[in-house]
Each structure stands twice: as C-alpha cells, then as structure tokens.
A and B are shown apart, each in its own frame.
Chain A
Amino acid sequence: MAVLEIEERCEITNEAGHVIEELVVNVGPSHPSTHGVCRVIVHLDGEVITKAEPVIGYLHRGIEKMTENRTYLQVVPLTDRLDYVGSMYANWAYCRAVERLAGVRIPERAEYLRVIVCEMQRIASHMMALGSAAADTGAATMFIYAFDERERIVELFEELCGARLTYNYVRPGGVSFDTPEGWTDTLLEFTRKHRPVLDQMDKLFFGNVITRGRMKGIGVLSAEDAVGWGASGPVARGSGVNWDLRKHDPYSVYPLFDFDVPTGSNGDAYDRARVRLFECYESCRIIEQAVAQMTPGRVKAEGFPRLLAPRPGDAYDHIESARGSLGVYIVSDGSPRPYRVKFRSPAFCNLALLPLLSEGHLLSDLVVVLGSLDPVFGEVDR
C-alpha cells in the first residue's frame, strides 16, 4: 500500500478568484506499482491534480563519487546497477566513452555482439515497462505475458554471461565472453516466437476499450516541449519527435542494419506505450540481421590493458537505450582511475516532465502518466 499522510489543507485562490481548499497528498515512496521508490507530492483541487511534484533521491548511492575511487574496469559493475532493468546498454555507453577516451577500436564481432545484447535488452526492458504499465491499470494478465517474454530473454542472458539482472558483460575493449554453442539458434527461435506474442499483446491490451479510455489523451506532451525539456526515447518519439540515435547519429554497426523508427502522433500515454511495443518488432529485425551478418572472430581487442590509463582529457559518448539517450561523460587525468564520470540519465530528464504532464488530470491518471514515462530509479537517482 502507498504510505499516505495528509500534510496540509491549504486555502488558495484559484484562477477564477475563488478561494478553494486544496488537499495535499503524499504518494509513496513505497509504491504498489513496480516503478521503484518515487515519492510524489500531489496538490489536489477536489479530484483534479493542480501540481504533482516528484521527490527523488531514495535510491541515491553516490555512484558517480564511487567511480572516482575505482579503475576503469572496476566501474563496469557500477554501471550495471544504474539502470538495473537495462544493464547491457548502461555498460555499453560507459565502454564506448572509455574506448573513445583511449582511442581504441574493438573487433567487429564484439560490436555485433554488443548490438545483439543491447537489442535483446531493449525488448526485455520494454516488456517490463509495458507489463508494469498494464499492471498499474489493472490488467494483470498482460503483466504476466510480458514478463514471460522477459523471462525468455533473461534465460538467454544467463546462458551467455551467467547473470540474470546485472550482467557486467560489455567491457572496455569488447565483451567478456563469446556466445556458447547453440545460443544464436535459441535466440532466433525466440525472435520468431516473439512477434506473434507481440501481436497478441497488442490486441489484448491496446485494443481494449478500457485501456484506450485510461491511456488516450492522458499526459499529452507536445513536440516542442519534448525537445525543450530534453526528453528522449519513446517519451519524445511518442510526441512525434523523430529522433533515434541509432538512425540519426549512428554508432557501432547500426548503419549496416535496415530498421524503422516507430513514432507516435498524439504524445499521450497510449502513443508512448505503443511506440515501445513497436520498437520490440524492430529490435527483432535488428537481432536477426545482426546474427546473419556476424562472423567468427575475437571478442576482445588485442592488447587491451586491464589497467587502462588513458590520455588526459574528456570524452562523451551516448547510445540509444530503452529509455532514451544514455550518455556518459568521462574526465580523465591520465591515472588509472577516472577523475569524474557523469551519467546523463534519460529517465532523470524524462521524469522532470511529470509535473507538466499530470497537471489537470485526475489522481487515478497519475500512475498512468508515471508508467508512460517509464522511470527506473537506479538511473534517476544514481
């Protein structure tokens, strides 16, 4: 249950000049929904939200400070725990920044493997996002279906690197292990079976009249606001901002693949969730192309030092994660430990939109808006 206290009833004068009594309600930080620890202080005028202010920091662990005390390789497990629903791409963003700083090129097979695991991670993360969004509105069956799909992916990851949640797989210089025998066959079987399940989920959840009533027109974000507020990922693409780093600022081997970028048109919660669903189809396409194009070879750069001491200076690199553009800015002073690492977290920037999006809606819509922004608090709070 949500922890509730009534903090104050204050009398304010609303726009029409009437003095009304406003109820201030505290929602969270422990939530029944699976988004994590987020406290929202909601000012209500009757049933309508006048102001919803998120209070974050409940999961702040000081990861950026911790990186200053570790070597470049030792930071990789810390990045796992940032966005714990998407460890693979958090690892990858950091490794790209390190490799840019060190000026290292990694083998092609490693690039392909990184793309494959990142796209699998994207599907897993979107299944989590859609499942919890569905569970928030009460559709428990959709939640179970989504997590079943996520389970297939997590089992594949366990075969690959031994962990189910925090993988520590993408390392500076390449990836840590090559794929076991038969892994790519299981993976292709998964992508083959995943598409009909996505169709089923589309009909079950998005075709439902109650879902439409709950999610259409809720939390509408205009395209200008999306760009001005620094939103990225499905949150921005749901509003029609056609910007995907994989297509418009391509990195790694993405230019070699053929895929589309789904965008929404209305910018409401329904469109954002739908963008996430369609991105899963595209990820399946990318995975199949990558597996077909991948050639045997090394998975770690030759001669890459374990104790890396890169040139003094700074470097920034970013990738398109499931939540948006995840960037890592590293400042190095030439020693084996980074001087400063900054994680530009997409969930943090997207969550800043919550007051804007929930104003004027009912209290029941707050959970729907929060679910459509898809925050993961490991990343928001670091």
Chain B
Amino acid sequence: MSGFLWGVVLGLAGCVVIAIGTLLGVWWERKVSARIQMRLGPQTLGPFGLLQTAADMLKLLLKEDVTPRQADARLFRVAPFVVFAPVAVGLMVVPFAAGWAPLDTSVGMLFFLAVPGLSAIGMVVAGWSSRNTYATLGGLRGAAQMVSYELPRTLSVLAVVLLAGSMRPLDVIAEWRWWWIPLNAIGLLVYFISSIAEVNRGPFDLPEAESELVAGYFADYTGIRWAIFMLSEYGAALAAGLFGAAVFFGGPGILPGPLGIALFVAIAIGFVTLMMWVKWTFPRMRPDQLMNTAWKVLTPMALVQIVIVGAVIPWL
C-alpha cells in the first residue's frame, strides 16, 4: 500500500487506540482515585462501571458546541486538534511487538520526544484564541512548562540511547539487558516525573487547574472539543507509559511471544497507575516551584545519569 495511504491508516488507528485507551483510562482513574479516597467509583453502568466513560462521551457529543463571540473562531475550533494530533502521531513510533513498530524510523526516540511537544503550540493557540487574558497566560504557562520539562525527559532517555548505540526503538529493545534497569534508575525517576509534567497531570497541572483561581487555557471549550483535550492528555499519558516501558524495561522483547507483549502493556498500565496515584496524593505546585524543579533538580539528575552511563560504557 502506498506510503500516503498507509499513513492515513496509521493515523486513524492511532486515534482509535487513543480513544479506547482514554475510555479505559478515565474509568481506571476514577476507580483508582475512588479507592484512594475510600469510596467506590463508577458502579452502575456496565459491569464494574465500565460503560460510564462511554455514557460521558455520549453526553459530551450531545452538548451544544459553543464558540464565544469574542473568540477567534477558526483558531478556536482548530486548537484542540493541534493539541491532539502530535500525540497521536508520537504514539506511532512506540514498538508494539518485538520486531514491529507502526512507524519504524531510525530516529524514533527523538521523534517520540520531539513531536508531542508540538502540543505546546496548540495550548498557546487555544488560550490565545479564547480572547481571555488569563486563558492566554494559562496557555503560555502550560507551553513554558512543557518546554522546560522536555529537557530532563530527553536527557534521561539519552542515557538509554547511549547504551543501545542507536536511536531506533526496535534496536533499543533488541539491545536491552536486564541490568539496564538498576543502571538507569535515576533516569527512570527523572523520566517518570518529567512525563507527569509533560502530560499536565498531577502535581504539575497548573495550566488546567489554574482554574482554582483563573480560567485555564481550555476553559471556554465545551462538549466534544473539551473531550479532545482530555483525549490528548490521556493519550499522552498512555504514550509516556508505553514508551517508558519500552525504553527502560525492554518493551515487548522482555519475554518471547505474546507473553512479552502482555507484560509490556502491564508495565505501561502500572506506569500510568503510578501517575494517577501521585496525582491524587500530592497538592499542586506553584509555577515558580515547578520551573525550579525542572531546571535545578531534574536536569542535573538527568545529567548525572548520563555521566554514570558514560562511565560504564567502555566496559560493555
């Protein structure tokens, strides 16, 4: 099949994967947060409340699509997709089986780290087009946060790239050894924390929970357009989990065959669950504390990780 057609198929597949992932992810978050808070979570719709998110999506689809009068209509309508699309594309380089990734490029690792960062543009566009000063500032702050946390994330993954000797995700999986896990422990921690910040979750959700005080960058969005922001958030979290499981834990190649893929998905889900656990335990950080953490704590830690790996490599 021609490259363009294959690209379209992949794109659609990515959207479907993210949609299903979000459906299950929202349900899982509601269950996890409920158990942490000594309550039960969704119960009534479907077995274990599984159909709850589907019902919510149906409700959102039926809502009126409101564009504020003073907003820049075209940009306002386009912004959610600008936030969503890079996430869906970035998911495509994650290897889903020992020898296969939907999009197999020799710069896959860089691709995954760089392309979802384009969501930051979408955030700024969403905030700016709302013609609401604090939405704009919220969007700018969110973009600043995303850009700052890209540095420690990239550096922590760089350590693994050095060990593998290649930026191609399939090569990294093939080269993976079990003792990479303790060696990359610091890098894993840095990756985990930076991913939470990249996804705008947990203690780092200032841009959207800025609504404790002012409107966040997607405040003026209703119905399904708002749902697309949620899709991109959960999609990014899922992608971060899958990528982390692939890069730091050897992905689908840990064990041969379908067992390996199952373990890979389980580790990714564990990753995402840990992100949820962190979100529901910690309060939110202030913007200046957030930036401090990125530049003064995580980046030095990631650099230390690179130094450690660099010291070990001559012995490999």
Contact = CB atoms under 8 A, between A and B. Distances in A.
Q: Do chains A and B touch in the complex (CB under 8 A)?
A: yes
Given A138-B205, A144-B38, A148-B38, A2 B214 contact: yes
A271 interface: no
Interface string A1-39: 110101000000000000000000101000011000000
A139 B212 contact: no
A141 B219 contact: no
B212 A367 contact: yes
Interface stretch (A204-212, A281-289, A290-298, A324-332): A204-212
Contact of A136 (B39, B212, B219): B212
A148 B39 CA distance: 10
B210 to A, nearest CB: 8
B211 A1 contact: yes
B284 to A, nearest CB: 3
Contacts of A145: 37-38
Contacts of B286: 213-214, 362, 364-365
B285 interface: yes
Given A2-B214, A138-B282, A139-B281, A213 B289 contact: yes
A144 B37 contact: yes
B254 interface: no
Interface string A354-382: 00000000111111000000000000000
A211 B214 contact: no
B98 interface: no
Interface in A290-330: none
B203 A138 contact: yes
Interface in A136-168: 136-141, 144-145, 148
A6 B134 CA distance: 9
B211 A2 contact: yes
A141 B280 contact: yes
B38 A4 contact: no
B213 A364 contact: yes
A139 B285 CA distance: 11
Nearest to A42: B213
Interface in B113-153: 132-134
A136 B283 CA distance: 9
B285 A210 contact: yes
B36 interface: yes
B160 to A, nearest CB: 28
Contacts of B284: 137-138, 210, 214
Contacts of A138: 203, 205, 209, 212, 282-284
A134 interface: yes
Contacts of A365: 286
B37 A1 contact: no
Contacts of B33: 140-141
Interface size class of A (residues with CB under 8 A): 20 to 34
Nearest to A23: B133
Nearest to A28: B213
A136 B282 CA distance: 12
B215 interface: yes
B215 A2 contact: yes
B64 interface: no
Interface residues of B, number: 28
Interface in B259-293: 280-289
Contacts of A140: 33, 37, 280
A1 B219 contact: yes
B292 to A, nearest CB: 9
Interface centre among A136, A210, A365 (most CB of B within 10 A): A210
A165 B218 CA distance: 36
Nearest to A3: B215
Interface centre among B213, B215, B281 (most CB of A within 10 A): B213
Interface centre among B132, B133, B203, B281 (most CB of A within 10 A): B281
Contacts of B215: 1-2, 4
Contacts of A25: 134, 214
A186 to B, nearest CB: 19
Contacts of B211: 1-2, 32
A27 B214 CA distance: 8
A363 B213 contact: yes
Contacts of B285: 210, 213-214
Given A208-B282, A210-B284, A6 B133 contact: yes
Contacts of B38: 144-145, 148
A109 B282 CA distance: 45
Contacts of A1: 211, 215, 219
Nearest to B206: A364
A75 B288 CA distance: 50
Nearest to B287: A364
B240 to A, nearest CB: 20
Contacts of A213: 285-286, 289
Contacts of A47: 287
A141 B37 contact: yes
A141 B281 contact: yes
Contacts of A6: 133
A226 B289 CA distance: 29
Interface string A187-227: 00000000000000000110010110110000000000000
Contacts of B206: 364
A214 B33 CA distance: 23
Contacts of A144: 37-39
A25 B214 CA distance: 10
Given A134-B283, A140-B280, A364-B286, 20 more contacts: A1-B211, A2-B215, A4-B132, A6-B133, A25-B134, A25-B214, A27-B213, A32-B211, A32-B212, A138-B284, A141-B36, A205-B283, A208-B283, A213-B289, A214-B283, A214-B284, A214-B285, A214-B286, A364-B213, A365-B286
Interface of A: 1-2, 4, 6, 25, 27, 32-33, 47, 134, 136-141, 144-145, 148, 204-205, 208, 210-211, 213-214, 362-367
9 contacts: A4-B133, A32-B212, A138-B203, A140-B33, A141-B37, A144-B39, A214-B283, A214-B289, A367-B213
Nearest 4 interchain pairs by C-beta: A138-B284, A137-B283, A144-B37, A139-B283
